Structure formats: structure tokens, C-alpha cells
Amino acid sequence: MEIRTTTPTDSAAPTPAAEIRRLNATAAAHDGIEPFSEQFLLGLDDGGDRQHRHATARTGTGELVGAAASDGSTIELAVAPEYRRDGVGTSLYGALSSGTDTVWAHGNLPPAVAWCRKQGLEPVRELLVMGVGGRNLAVAAESVEREGFHVMDLDSSRRRYGVDHVDGEWLRVNNEAFNWHPEQGGWDADRLARGQDTDWFDPAGVLLFWSGTDDCDDGGPAPELAGFHWTKWHGDDGAGRKIGEVYVVGLADGFRGRGLGGPLIASGLRHLAGRGADEVILYVETDNTVAVAAYERLGFDVRERHAAYGSPE
């Protein structure tokens, strides 16, 4: 079995993005869940912007049977079902690991858990996928108005208040809301631009929650952003159901504790329900108990569990 690593600047051995995507699909069909997350799949063909390193495993005939990706702190990997339990995953992990990485086990499936334990890794983080549909979605999406605030989508906001003001406020609120988060926090303008550079991005699905009245026509200043709800449209899930996602919800420091979470979430749910969503999902950290409880009150329940494993301290 040949193990090869590639870096963002390795033009002599480019990452075989199409083959890895097919491997991802094959593993998902077998396991019921994709082994690679969206950010790692995007890293296959972003020209090295995310600085991901990759490792691939091939048979003597050149067939791709395993792949792994690292962003410098976390690793994800996939092995073709018929080549598992032959040391392929361990070889891929060894090719990329620095010894301090965490490894994602999407779905936290028993074989993945057993493999992580065999590497001496312990769970250090858990991510829930929660979902709501049917009558519960309709109720959760009901309009909740708050005096002194108005909601506009991204394009409308940029036309009204200017791109620089809107994007600057969006970044500020994002980084205040996620100063603790390893992937979502600490963004700059380039990272925000990359977040919008996807096939599914729709500015109409980014709902911005502005504070104060809209008095720009009278010479007043552009308003302050209180929060945002960035939605994602998945579309048909293959079983005839249309799926939307609460992609990112953020509230500025100065607007917490004022009962704005409900209206902020409802604004995105209304948008997704208006597009015909049968179900809306979201990702939330297990230890974010306040958020989990809030989503449960809206009718969301747990659909999947994802866990990151790392070396015990």
C-alpha cells in the first residue's frame, strides 16, 4: 500500500480531489454518514487557501482506497469499506499527525470509536446535529417581532448601508459571538469571503438583525448590528424531503440577555420554511447546554452525534 502526502504548494503531486469525493460518497453510502466535513471537502479544491495537507493510500494498481486531511490541528480520514481493518487508517493518520491533533469521528460510529481508542485517543469534543420539522417547524418559524430592531437580508443591507459597514459589522458580531470557537472565531475579511465562496451560498439566506430605526434617508448613521442568522439550503435529501440548515447564528456582546435569540432564530426559520423546507437542521456543541435547551424548547431533537478525539492530557 502506497501512502503519499501532499501540501497546498505541492504542484508535482496535486490532491486528487475528484477521487477523494468519490471515496467520501462510497463511505457515506456504506456508513450512512459522510466521513469528511464541509470544510475539509472545500479544502480539496480551494487552491491551498485553507492550508490543508492531505494523505492518500493506493493499492499497487493505483486504486485510491483511503484519504486523510489535516488543517494543522484536526484530522479527518476515510477508508474504502473493503480495505478497513488492514492498517490503512492508521498509516494515513501517522502520515499527517503531529501528535497533538484531534481526529473527527463523524456519527461517532462504533468502528470509528474503537479505532480512536486503539490510537490512544479520548473524546475531547462532541457536536450534535439537531433537527425540527412538521408542525414544530411551523410554530418555531412564527414571526416574533421586537420593537427597535429590523431584519434585512445581506444584499438589501449592503445596498442600504454600504458593503464596508455591513461586512465590518458582520465580522465584529461573528468574532464576539464565537471568540471561543476553534473554526468560527477569529475571522478576518478574507475568511468571511471564503465562507461565501461556495456553490450553495445565497445572500438572501443571510438575515441581519439591525438595532434602531432605519433613518439613513434623514442623514442618520448606519445602524448597529445586533445579530445575524446565516442559513444554508441543502435542497432535496434524495427521499423527497427538502432540508434547510441553521448554519450560523451570532449575537453581539452588547445585545445578549435581551430576549433576542428567539426572534433571531425565527427569522431564519421563516426564510427556510418559505423556501419549502420540510426539515431544518443545525449543529451545536454538546456542552453548550443553554443553546441545546433553547433549541429543544423550539422542538428540535438530536439526529446525529459527532465526536473529536485527542490525546489525553
Determine if residue 239 is labeled as part of a ligand binding site: no
Residues 231/246, Cβ–Cβ less than 8 Å: yes
Q: Crossing angle of helices 110-118/88-96, nearest 10°?
A: 60
**Integer Cα distance of 115 and 103 in angstroms:** 11
Sheet of 301-310: strand order equals 2-6, 53-58, 64-70, 74-79, 102-105, 301-310, 122-133, 279-285, 242-251, 224-236, 206-211, 149-153
Determine if residue 232 is labeled as part of a ligand binding site: yes
- Grid cell 492531505 — which residue? 54
Determine if residue 2 is labeled as part of a ligand binding site: no
- Grid cell 477523494 — which residue? 20
Determine if residue 88 is labeled as part of a ligand binding site: no
Determine if residue 224 is labeled as part of a ligand binding site: no
The three cell numbers locating residue 151: 431584519
The three cell numbers locating residue 94: 501517522
**Integer Cα distance of 247 and 292 in angstroms:** 15
Total count of residues recorded for the chain: 313
Determine if residue 225 is labeled as part of a ligand binding site: no
Element containing residue 123 per DSSP (H, E)? strand 122-133
Determine if residue 249 is labeled as part of a ligand binding site: yes
Determine if residue 245 is labeled as part of a ligand binding site: yes
Looking at the DSSP bridge assignments, the partners of residue 229 are: 207, 249
Determine if residue 129 is labeled as part of a ligand binding site: no
Residues 75/101, Cβ–Cβ less than 8 Å: yes
**Integer Cα distance of 146 and 263 in angstroms:** 7
Determine if residue 251 is labeled as part of a ligand binding site: yes
Determine if residue 283 is labeled as part of a ligand binding site: yes
Residues of each annotated binding site for acetyl-CoA: 77-79, 249-251
Residues of each annotated binding site: 38, 77-79, 183, 232, 245, 249-251, 283
